[in-house]
Structure 1
Amino acid sequence: MTTTDTVSSSDAGRHGHRFLLLGTDTIYAYHLPLYHVAIHAFQMITKFGLDGSLRKKYLDDLGNHEDRQVYYSLFSEGHWPLKEIVDGTRTSLKVELERVTVDSDGNRTFTKIVDETTATCRKDDVVHYEPLDATDYPENLTYLAFGEGSEAHLAHQLAASPNWDEVITTSNPAGFEQSDLDRAAAVTIPSIKDPKGVVKTSPLVKGKPYEGLIGTREVTFTAGRQGWWNHTSLNK
């Protein structure tokens, strides 16, 4: 069965950017990329200034769905260029908090749980910004590391297409330096070859420990909660 995305009825006919929320102590925003739509053909990781009520709603809801395949996104209406954040010409954006649920067939539904509010943004908070298809498929599975303190997240590095999009939160990360996380350093997994195409399930098994490399330095982590997954609308 083909995976599809649906939205709540209030979103009918609306277009804009979506940013997936990751983390609890420091909350990161991961732009939902699409290879086939020029305005969305970027992999971006940043931080937003969120008001207390939105932050609390996200954290409370996450706590209630910790063991379910549920994601969280901020929807910002309009096809404005992401580079406005990178250049510092945009300092705020209107956002709505959505819960993204996934059914047994893999279909995603975006449902608004917080009405429109304002988030702030700064170019200094952009951790990673890169056009899709910037590089060829790597030899080994490669992720981008970001986070703060004891929280380390990994986003699958989107190179050539077709591909799959995934973000996970690790547990027991070791060997990562804050400078790695601040610049979204590439982490290769030598034990897993890159599939050079689309996969339908994550190559990383939740609860399983892995060894990775940042350059020649070894890091270790256990695959934890999945904060995003997409192998369908990403590509078509």
Structure 2
Amino acid sequence: MDMHHGHQTHPDGDATLGSHGMLLLGGEPLYMSHLPMFMAPHNFQVILQVGADDAVSSVLRSHQHVVPEEPYDTFVPEVFPMSELDPRGAGLRRTSMTGKIFCGHFEREGGQHPPLAEHTVVAVQSVVYFSQLDVQAEHRDDTELAYVCFGRGGQLHLAHNITAAPDFDQVLTVRAVPGTATNPLGERLPDAEATLEKFFEERFVVAEPVNIGGRSDSPDHRVVPPATVDGSFFATAPPSGFHGFAVQLEVEREVYMETGDLAKPKRPQ
């Protein structure tokens, strides 16, 4: 199967037109994370908050997972230009997508089973993260492991910050550990559980960068459950007057992990 790699010519010449497969995660709210590659038109790391009708939401919550080696669901939209999701773009802004939902990866074992839902319309409620990947960039061994954090309240996610080939796509579910938040001086922040949850509820509607100290940016050094790690939110302003803060993050689940699609692209012979 080659659905993820599909590429068609758009009438207006938009080179980002393609079949842009997405990982589904969360529940309320529901998110989609584009499955990227270091080749056009798939060279985009994009995370969306989306809405689905009650019937689709019920299927996602209650279906029996038939692909244990692919413990997630994916969405295959009809072809569209990724540029329509760019929040900084000046053109048409996409507000919905129509497609199929699969149990597992639609290009792999999951694609051998009937779709969970067809002709499914999802509303694009917000663009949580949007980054175009440089297909010419090469990975540096001295890069520090970094993620972007998004979510609401007690349901937080980390997505590995994809930058240069070879790289890896990873999505985690995490929770901030109450009582561990500190300002850049190392002083404890007043973060009783309710206060911390309210802060994360309000702050991570849009993804924020977070570095994981002491780890290089490689699949072998990625964060995996049941680890608890120190996260540095260097660009995020907490309710303390300081710029940036640190907090321990307890990793609950690795939702998705992929290296093959983000290997170095093959050069023409």
> Shared fold by TM > 0.5?
yes
Q: TM-score with structure 2 length normalisation? A: 0.69
Residue identity in the other structure for 1:131: Q
**Structure with the bigger percentage of strand:** 1
With 88-97 and 19-28 compared, the bigger mean Cα shift is at 88-97
- Structure 1 164/115 Cα, relative in aligned 2: closer, same or farther at 3 Å? same
Q: Is the 8 A contact 1:133 1:158 kept in 2?
A: no
Aligned to 2:27: 24
| Structure-2 residue corresponding to 1:185 | 208
Aligned length: 215
Among 195, 212, 215, the residue aligned to 2:231:
212
Counterpart among 92, 107, 115 of residue 96 in structure 2: 92
Question: What secondary structure, in the 3-state scheme, does the structure 2 residue paired with 1:40 have?
Answer: coil
The one-letter code sitting in structure 2 at the alignment partner of 1:58 is L
Which deviates the most, 45-54 or 177-186? 177-186
The 1:172–1:186 alpha-carbon spacing in structure 2 relative to 1, beyond 3 Å, is: closer
Pairing of 1:62-81 with structure 2 (within 5 A):
69-78=70-79, 80-81=80-81
Are the aligned partners of 2:32 and 2:47 in contact in 1 as well (CA < 8 Å)?
yes
Q: Is the 8 A contact 1:20 1:227 kept in 2?
A: no
Q: Is the 8 A contact 1:143 1:157 kept in 2?
A: yes
**Secondary structure of 2:148's partner?**
strand
Deviation per residue, 1:7-51 (Å, 9 max, x gap): 8xxx79977111111112211111111112x12101001112211
- Give ranges in structure 1 of 5+ residues lacking alignment: 1-5
Picking from 151, 155, 159, the partner of 1:151 is: 155
2:58 counterpart (56, 59, 72): 56
Residues 20 and 35 in structure 2, CA contact (< 8 A), matched pair in contact too: yes
Aligned to 1:131: 132
2:184 aligns with none
Identical amino acids, percent of aligned pairs: 25
Could you tell me which runs of 5 or more consecutive residues in structure 2 were left unpaired when the two chains were aligned: 8-18, 182-198, 235-243
User: Which residue among 119, 122, 130 is the counterpart of 1:119?
Assistant: 122
RMSD: 3.1
Max radius of gyration: which structure? 2
SS in 2 for 1:233: helix
CA distance in 1 between counterparts of 2:27 and 2:63 reads: 12
User: Normalized against structure 1, the TM-score is what?
Assistant: 0.78
Q: How far did 1:108 drift? A: 4.8
Q: State the Cα deviation string for residues 68-97 of structure 1 (Å, max 9, x = none).
A: 64111111021x211213355322221211
1: CA distance between counterparts of 2:177 and 2:119? 35
TM-superposed CA distance for 1:228, in Å, is 1.6
